[in-house]
Amino acid sequence: MKLFAKKSKKEPDKDKAAKEYIVESVRSDLEPENAVIAYILLQSKDNKISLAYKDGITYVCFRNEKISAFLKNWYGILRMHQKKMLDTEVYNMFITSQLAINLPEQNKPQPEPEKKKKQDSPIIEAPDDEDLEPYNDIFND
């Protein structure tokens, strides 16, 4: 232990306002594209992305374990869906579950209300125990 060592001060987060803007933009859904652009620029500033451009398409590679892992999983599921190896309903369940995991609480999609099914036949009520007394001999044998 050093007796006269300088206390290290934590550097103030210069990008705090930008990060708050990103969160609020995505949360409010006003300009999510600008929020994504701001996020990419902040990641670039920290050398956490790579860009490539080919045939009119820009490719963004994130050097972030969580994002990379998600994109890898999503790519596999998306390709199976595109090749008709995965049903659209199952693909949509994946998307919905990922949104539920990754969106702030107030932006999570609300479940759709269940549709009432038409009944083909009227509901038949079960008889009371008293009405079954004459038949107890049959059931108890």
**Alpha carbon distance 7, 2 (integer Å):** 11
Q: Is the pLDDT of residue 113 over 70?
A: no
Residue type for position 93 = M
Q: Looking at per-residue confidence, does 2 or 13 come out higher? A: 13
| pTM of full prediction above 0.75 | no
* pLDDT tens-place string over residues 78-87: 999 999 999 9
* Residue written as token pair 């290290």: 8
Which residue intervals of 29-135 are DSSP H helices? 32-45, 65-82, 88-102, 129-132
9 confidence band (pLDDT: 50, 70, 90): low
* pLDDT tens-place string over residues 16-51: 777 777 777 767 766 778 888 888 898 899 899 999
